[in-house]
Amino acid sequence: RSVQFYVPFPAVLGANAYDFSVVIKNVNGVGDNDPLDNSGTATFNITGVEPKPGRKVVVEEGTGTWCTWCPRGAVMMEYIAEQYPDLAVPIAVHNAQTSWPDPMQNATYNSGMLTMIGGFPGGRVEREADIDPLLGNPNFEQSLIEHLTQPAKALVSQNVTWDAATRKVDVTTSLQFVEAMNGDLRIAVVYLEEGVKGTTQYYGQVNAYSGGGQGPMGGFENLPSPVPAAQMTYNHVAREIVGGFTGAAGSVPATNAAGSVMSYTSSYTVPAAYNINNMHAVSMLIDAASGRIINAES
């Protein structure tokens, strides 16, 4: 059998080389009649990297409550949210099927994601390459780290105001161009909700990892399939993308000199069914020609 464990030694910037001795004890809760084969060594080489200033990397995942393998996407999205809270912007884009209509689908966002991924779960880091969240090489974390080491071409900030009486949100997205950027640049504002729960059948999550036959998967191996709605909570749920999947045309000037600044304001009325206390806005700067997300703020 195999056992996963964590080594409590932090990596520092640059090259890190560690040699470890591993000893197996208390085999199956009893003594071992051959203790001579219970030790070994392992060598790890790790390179510590530092994120570039002003970078926040968008990780978009296509998922669905109908999707048998999507629990692994949820596990990876939670992991990067916990490990990279000020650097990663995880966005779960839900997809509905006729036979299992995921109630969290946003039609506009889903249509855009379907043009970028070949299967579920799948996604893109800054809309660059279609990769598997956890099993890919690279996976979401590896690609995230790579993107964090790329300098920011433009810095993104935002000011969000909320009118409780009308449930209207105004987001003023501001850009400061670190280098000259010209072309069809656009701003999209995504609204995410955390802690989403529902009571109907289709808030349940179909689960291929049930029973443990596919190995451990963040606790999903101990849950049934489908996991009942009462036992599921969904995070990073994309509720709306204002400006459309590729951003609002004309929201950014065609010519932007290095050091120049600009702002753009968009609005959204939050439906009563959404919990504003669990929501946040994400401003994304998108290159419409390449389709890539250049930078973001959450």
**Which one, of 226, 228, 247, lies nearest residue 183 by Cα?**
247
Q: Is the pLDDT of residue 6 over 90?
A: no
Q: Does this model's pTM top 0.85? A: yes
pLDDT tens per residue across span 151-202: 999 999 999 999 999 999 999 999 999 999 999 999 999 999 999 999 999 9
pLDDT tens per residue across span 58-78: 999 999 999 999 999 999 999
pLDDT tens per residue across span 106-140: 999 999 999 999 999 999 999 999 999 999 999 99
Q: For the chain, give the mean pLDDT.
A: 95
Residue 38's pLDDT is: 83
| Top-confidence residue, 146 or 37 | 146
Residue 279's pLDDT is: 98
pLDDT tens per residue across span 246-266: 999 999 999 999 999 999 999
Instruction: Give the pLDDT band of residue 1 (cuts 50, 70, 90).
Output: low
Residue 250's pLDDT is: 98
